[in-house]
Amino acid sequence: MFQGYWAAVVTPFRHSRVDIAAFERYIATLIEGEIKGIVVCGSTGEALSLTSEERISLIKAAKHMAEGRIPIAAGVITTTTRDASQQAKEAEKSGADALLAITPFYIKPSPEGLYNHFYTLHEATSLPIILYNNPGRTGIDLDLNTLEKLMQLPRLMALKEASPHFTRILSWRRHLRSDFSFMAGDDESAPAFLALGGDGIISVTANIAPKLCTELYNAWINADLGTFASIRDRLAPLHRALFMEPNPCPTKYALSVMGIIRDEVRLPLLPVTEPGQFILRRVLQEGLGLDV
């Protein structure tokens, strides 16, 4: 299940409200682009600005659009174990196929506290879990000793690795279960991550170029290195442009000029600046050939 390109989707808003109609149209474009899975209500989905009711409505809408064709993972992006367990239960009840659970941020728990957090989350539902390690956002970095201990939990199935130390999967892999998947959490380093033995990518770029991202992965799997290198280089400017300002602001702007959603974020995020808009339009025109 946890392989290939997954899209970490944005949450469309319209006059401050979640725009479910736009969200469903947007999900349809990703499915048409042959994305392998979708993460709803993650960091790119502005999870911390969403109410419980909004999260539930987004998971249900994504599940409805997927119609069993691709899996839907729901983000568990919160600080306390109590709230994480509640979000997990709501996600399972709403039809999610998996959870993407971040390490608790701000609190900076001990390794033992981190293990107990994920043990409690594991026991709260029957869903498979993708661990999400993003020390740049959370202030805590998952270590191998803790990960080895977490391997005792049978439904902990994958790791989204968004640290700058992604090369460590080379040494980590031999210590972990053979059915455990490594997913890149950074688009720019994703080609290198695949070469190191990664299984897939939970991607922001896939929101804009789902078909091209899928073709990149397929070229790697089929050992078509010429095609792989060509697509890798074509996507590189887009990766950089989508993170030149806080995520997901550039992605939402790009999707808006493509006519898919409105360019609207919730404070404290702000829309992309005029210089950023110029760069994004140029990248979409020159790199992807879009008329925007």
Pairing of strands 72-76, 200-203: unpaired
> Helix 249-257 crosses helix 274-288 at what angle (to 10 degrees)?
60
Out of 132, 217, 252, 253, pick the active-site residue: 132
Which of 26, 160, 217, 253 is flagged as catalytic? Answer: 160
Task: Tell me how far the alpha carbon of residue 229 is from its chain's centroid.
Answer: 23
Active site residue 132: yes
Q: How many residues does the chain have?
A: 292
289 burial (CB, 10 Å; 0-12 / 13-18 / 19+) is: exposed
The rounded distance, in Å, linking the Cα atoms of 147 and 164 is 17
CA–CA–CA angle 234, 254, 246 (5° rounding): 95
Helix (H, G, I), strand (E, B) or coil at 107: coil
**Amino acid code (one letter) for 162:** A
Closest by CA position to 137, among listed 225, 206, 75? 75
| Catalytic (active-site) positions | 132, 160
